A and B are shown apart, each in its own frame.
Chain A
Amino acid sequence: FQRLRIIQVDSVRRWMDDLKLMTECE
């Protein structure tokens, strides 16, 4: 998790924020 907290690239951080709520539904 430490590795995840120090992500410097804005576009990757934004992608990961969106990803948190992204599920492929059944």
Chain B
Amino acid sequence: RAAQGRAYGNLGNTHYLLGNFSEAIAFHKERLAIAKEFGDKAAERRAYSNLGNAHIFLGKFDVSAEYYKKTLQLSRQLKDQAVEAQACYSLGNTYTLLRDYERAIDFHLKHLCIAQELGDRVGEGRAAWSLGNAYVSSGDHGKALGCARKHLEISQEIGDKN
């Protein structure tokens, strides 16, 4: 049964990489059920992330947000800060897609805080970029300018010409 769970997860990932998002979702749901059966929180967390990602490409952003929130909750339970940062980043982008800029800003700020805490300059740069765009969308150009400056500073520091 445990191996079956892993096989479902691998099938879900393979369909995802092939662009078969509905099939990927079906397999990841099976994987999720087995992870729950075993009380395997790490596998459950991975399934939520994979389900959130697949729903993005079906345009079901609201469903993705719910899965990413479950990822976030489990990452905190598992005390995995890198995964927590990733979940906040995904939620920030998903709420931008949903045009809910207030929530998007909130999650990008959380991502920024964790990236700073972890000394992750690449993550911090990405958070500043995303946050700046969310501020522009919400009409707060003053804060957007501060973020763009931060993004430029970090891009120069890490040698990211693009």
Contact = CB atoms under 8 A, between A and B. Distances in A.
Mostly, the B contact residues are: helix
Contacts of B17: 21, 23
Contacts of B57: 4, 16, 19-20
B53 A11 contact: no
B113 interface: no
- B contact residues, range: 20 to 34
| Contact-residue size bin, chain A (C-beta under 8 Å from the other chain) | 10 to 19
B89 interface: yes
Nearest to B42: A24
Contacts of A19: 53, 56-57
Interface of A: 1, 3-4, 7, 9-12, 15-16, 19-26
